[in-house]
A and B are shown apart, each in its own frame.
Chain A
Amino acid sequence: MAEIKKRIRVTVNGERYEKDVSPAKSLLDFLRTDLNLTGTKEGCGEGECGACSVILNGRLVDSCLILAFEAEGQEIQTIEGISRHDRLHPLQKAFAEKGAAQCGYCTPGMIMAAKYLLDHNPSPTPEQTLTAIAGNLCRCTGYGSIVDAILSAAKER
């Protein structure tokens, strides 16, 4: 079916993109299908699980709840953009070492939520850390190792 597409310009992980997207397309879908950045996951499509968390102009958002064209002119950071020159972000390193990723499906979103926390609060308490990831569901770890990883990354930075 012919549909009206809308041109958007966004910066994702420092790269500029210009794409025509359908007005109904979510930012999550845009990242995953148009840009092939499949690191960001869909767990529910309803903003309840946090697997699709990305940082949009400095805000932590559920990318499934945002339309792609709402991101027009904005900067987006995804899991693919947080390690620099093949050097892991301290959070990635800590998640690996502390066993904070088991199946790994919630991990990209979880790391983005943790990054947002550390960007705003470089030395969080365990309670603040639990609150910061409250919107990101994990069914494997029981959250303890995730909190340990975030606190350990905070010390590293």
Chain B
Amino acid sequence: MKVIGQGLPRVEILEKVTGESVFGADVRLSSPLLFGKILGSPHAHARIKSIDTTKAERLPGVKAVVTAQDLPAVRYGRFVRDEEYFARTKVRLVGDRIAAVAALDEETAEEALRLIKVDYEVLRPVTDALEAMREGAPLIHEEYDRYHAISMMEGRKGNICYHKKTVQGDIERGFQEADRIFEHRFYAPMVHQTYIEPHAVLARVDASGKVTVWVPTQAQFFIRQSVAEIFELPLIKVRVIPTEIGGGFGGKLLPTIEPAAVALARKSGMAVQIVMSRAEDFQVANPRHPCHMRYKTGVKLDGTIVAREVEVVLGTGAYCGIGAVTCQRVEMLAAGPYRIPNVKIDLFCVYANHANCGPYRAPAGPQLAFASESQIDIIARELELDPVEMRLKNAIEEGDTTPASGGPLKSVHAKATLLKVAEAAHWRVKPREKNRGRGIALGYWLVGGYASSAGVKLNEDGTVTVMTGVVDLSGTVTSLGQIVAEVLGVELDDVHVRTADSDFAPHSTISAGSQGLRSMGTATKMAAEEVKKQIMEVAADKLEAETSDLMVEGKRVYVRGSIEKGLSLGQVAQLSLVHKQGPIVSIQSSSHFPNQPAFSAHVTDVEVDPETGGVKILRYVAAQDVGTAINPLSVRGQIQGSVMQGLGQALSEACTFANGKMLNPSFLDYKIFSSLDAPRVEVYLVEHAAEDGPFGAKGIGEPSIIPVPAAVANAVRDAVGVSIFDLPLTAERVLKAIQEKNQRR
């Protein structure tokens, strides 16, 4: 292969390094612009008695004020219709939307917000999922029974929005057969994606009533659908133009400020821009679900796992959002990538008066792995087994199934990934210095694939244009170009590929779930192959040859064995214009990708300061089962960045709340890793071409974050002999555990 496997710079890189790229807040129109602001509730739980916007409307410079009264009475939600865009009768989180204003400048918009008078009857908030499940807890959705829900939404009761039990084998007998049983509780708090670009949007409505929305989104077709649903518009009346996106990590999938901008633009007749402040983004965007986990595991003395019972309580926030799909993830992943004959998984998705949680890079993945892989490590120590050996003994293999995996799994490389990281990190040569330790963890993720379509056309000079609507987060678009270049025997420079908008791109998958390249890459490859077929047909006519004798490479098509007997792709493109076939172009679709496993195994060395509890990462080694790396530069970069986010989750990040109000909504108090905290992440790729996926590529983005908190917790245990069951492993927490351990002596 010539272009696949090359670590080429991203196709849009020059715009990015020169500052030319247009991100959400960079869109400029020739018409004047209004600044929009959203009024959020100051209370986590309250009834709305009245809303008075008259003073705000009268403020000079204010061009529109909107509330629920200005929108159709539409209740939405993918699994259960529990959400209204603006609150009508009740607020359920701090920041729940009450109203929005658009004004000539930002200061006036802010002043207008202060003039809106809302009368609340404040209710007792319930901000933790376990508390919300208790008998007598205040009900967050009193009318829950009347909401429309899809049929999978079983077990709804009180604040429990979804409850599912999964059993495999005979769990009681499994525990009876066990020589030892271990049970631990873990907690992972809410953490935020903290893309550096806050949410931003610009909306305009033209004279025909057509809405155009410029937005940095991971899912332009989903935003189009949501806007159309909320405003009861046909899809052709909504155009979403995805801008460059300054990081998403799942946080820019669901609609947030788009409908407000649209409502203001419709009411004012002018273009409206809304940009979230960092504090707003922290408080009301859609962070990672806080997760309570109980793991009970039965093992034989040789380390064989015979039974595992997992209970997970996921705080979904004020609304269900993607809580139910995150629960499906939990069902698939909770037991870990191990052959376990008897499994029981009990999972609860629970409302609480906090931010509406959403997708963040491997939803539920790092939380579950923190619990599962910490416990495996504790068991290995208790049984005096090597942690790598214990995992190798139980790891799944080709053709195995795991709960909810959807059938036997193909392209399973758990063991190869473990062995790779152990070798790269010199696992057996352990650090001997005092207070230093080493930890390992295995990450497991299942990647599916949603429907996608893509187009490829041959231009009159032999260059190629790709038509795709997939948004580029991690180099996907460049990889699509590489796929097309490989199929058509041209260079990446001969291919133009950029994201087109919702009016012009064929339906595209979301840029999430690690499936963008698998899904869109497959459709794109099919379209390129069809274009290649058309090239050969036109050339075969002209060259009086059989298509089976033709080669397409080096920007030419020629008769195999006689390279001079051929045509340039430009000649073919021009011939095709007068050929019976017409212009060479193809749009192809793909759908229904079975679950494909992807593994990541990480080893880290840490040093713990026994005086402060501070944890320093000395070394970080990540091995990942990536199938074929279409672009190793992108793949490595994505893994390195993902590990850094995981380290934040492991050591420093947590959204903290008082009465539902976030206490640390700034980069000063919510600590993500800076360059001074960052270790150099060593990446090792385990490349075995996958069963399906373009050129054997697998999903990359999510598996890479999953094992990080567990690897760190296991290294801390190795260093100072303490187990931490709550994330993050702050210095205070580690110090407290060390002190407790010393007191026990």
Residues of A within 8 A of B (CB): 1, 24, 32, 36-46, 48-49, 51, 78-80, 83, 88, 91-93, 95-97, 99, 101-108, 111, 130-131, 133-147
Instruction: Give the CA-CA distance A107 to B18 in the complex, in Å.
Output: 9
Most buried by B among A1, A83, A99, A147: A99
A–B Cβ pairs within 8 angstroms, 26 of them: A1-B61, A1-B108, A38-B22, A39-B20, A43-B278, A44-B278, A46-B278, A48-B278, A88-B14, A92-B14, A101-B13, A103-B196, A103-B473, A104-B15, A104-B17, A108-B19, A130-B675, A131-B675, A131-B676, A139-B194, A141-B640, A141-B641, A141-B644, A142-B637, A144-B678, A147-B675
Chain A residues with CB under 8 Å of B221's CB are: none
Q: Which residues from A are CB-within-8-Å of B668? A: 46, 48
Asked if residues B20 and A41 are in contact (CB atoms below 8 Å), the reply is no
- In the bound complex, residues from chain B placing their C-beta under 8 Å from that of A95 are 13, 17
Which residues of chain B are near A133, meaning CB under 8 Å? 675
Q: How far is the CA of A39 from the CA of B15 in the complex (A)?
A: 10
Contact at B640–A144, with CB atoms within 8 Å?
yes
Interface size class of B (residues with CB under 8 A): 35 or more
- The main secondary structure of chain B at its interface with chain A is loop
| B636–A39 CB distance below 8 A | no
- In addition to A39-B18, A139-B194, A142-B641, 14 A-B residue pairs with Cβ atoms within 8 Å of each other are A41-B23, A42-B198, A46-B668, A51-B196, A92-B14, A95-B17, A96-B13, A101-B13, A133-B675, A135-B674, A138-B196, A139-B249, A139-B645, A144-B678
Whether B406 sits at the interface, judged by CB under 8 Å, is no
Residues of chain B in range 641-672 having any CB-CB distance to chain A below 8 Å: 641-645, 666-668, 672
Q: Chain A residues near B12 (CB, 8 Å)?
A: 104
Q: A38-B22, A139-B196, A144-B680 are in contact. Are A44 and B667 (CB under 8 A)?
A: yes
**A30 to B716 CA separation, bound complex (whole angstroms):** 48
A140's partner among B19, B277, B637, B678 (CB-CB below 8 A) is B637
User: Which residues of the partner chain B approach A111 to less than 8 Å between Cβ atoms?
Assistant: 17
B246 touches A104 (CB 8 A): yes
Residues of A within 8 A of B244 (CB): 103-104
A101 near B195: Cβ-Cβ < 8 Å: no
Q: Which residues of B contact A (CB under 8 A)?
A: 7, 9-10, 12-23, 25-26, 28, 60-61, 107-108, 193-198, 244-249, 275, 277-278, 473-475, 633-634, 636-638, 640-645, 666-668, 672-676, 678, 680-681
Residue pair B672, A105 in contact (C-beta under 8 Å): no
Report whether B643 and A142 are in contact in the complex, using a CB–CB cutoff of 8 Å.
Answer: yes
Chain A residues touching B, majority SS:
loop
Provide the bound-state CA to CA distance between A105 and B13, in Å.
12
Q: Residue among A103, A105, A106, A133 with the most chain B CB within 10 A? A: A103
Question: Which of B28, B61, B197, B638 interacts with A105 by CB under 8 Å?
Answer: B197
Q: How far is the CA of A130 from the CA of B678 in the complex (A)?
A: 9
Residue of A whose beta carbon sits closest to that of B104? A1
Is there an interface contact between A139 and B19, defined as CB atoms closer than 8 Å? no
Could you tell me the distance in whole angstroms from the C-beta of B586 to the nearest C-beta in chain A?
A: 30
Taking CB as reference atom, which chain A residue is nearest B635? A99
| Best-buried of B17, B196, B248, B637 by chain A (most CB within 10 Å) | B17
* Nearest CB in chain A to that of B16: its residue: A104
Contacts A80-B18, A101-B13; A139 near B666 (Cβ below 8 A): no
- Complex Cα–Cα for A52 and B3 (A): 36
Min Cβ gap A109→B in Å is 9
Measured CA separation A41–B195 after assembly (Å): 13
Are B13 and A106 touching (Cβ within 8 A)?
A: no
Q: Are A41 and B107 in contact (CB under 8 A)?
A: no
A101 touches B16 (CB 8 A): yes
Please tell me if the beta carbons of B18 and A88 are within 8 angstroms of each other in the complex: yes
Q: Which of B248, B637, B642 counts the most chain A CB atoms within 10 A?
A: B637
Does B19 contact A43, Cβ atoms closer than 8 Å? no
Whether A46 contacts B246 by the Cβ 8 Å rule is no
Report A153 CB to chain B, min CB distance, Å: 11
- In the bound complex, do residue B640 and residue A1 qualify as a contact, i.e. CB atoms below 8 Å apart? no
Most A CB atoms within 10 A — which of B13, B20, B642?
Answer: B13
Q: Are the CB atoms of B633 and A137 closer together than 8 Å?
A: no
With a CB–CB cut-off of 8 A, which chain A residues contact B634?
99
State whether B633 touches A45 (Cβ < 8 A). Answer: no
A91→B16 CA distance, assembly (Å): 12
Write the nearest CB–CB distance from B645 to chain A, whole angstroms. Answer: 7
CA distance A48 to B665 in the complex (A): 12
Which residues of chain B have C-beta atoms less than 8 A from A96's C-beta? 9, 13-14, 16-17
Question: Does B17 contact A88, Cβ atoms closer than 8 Å?
Answer: yes
Residues in chain B near residue A78, CB distance under 8 A: 19
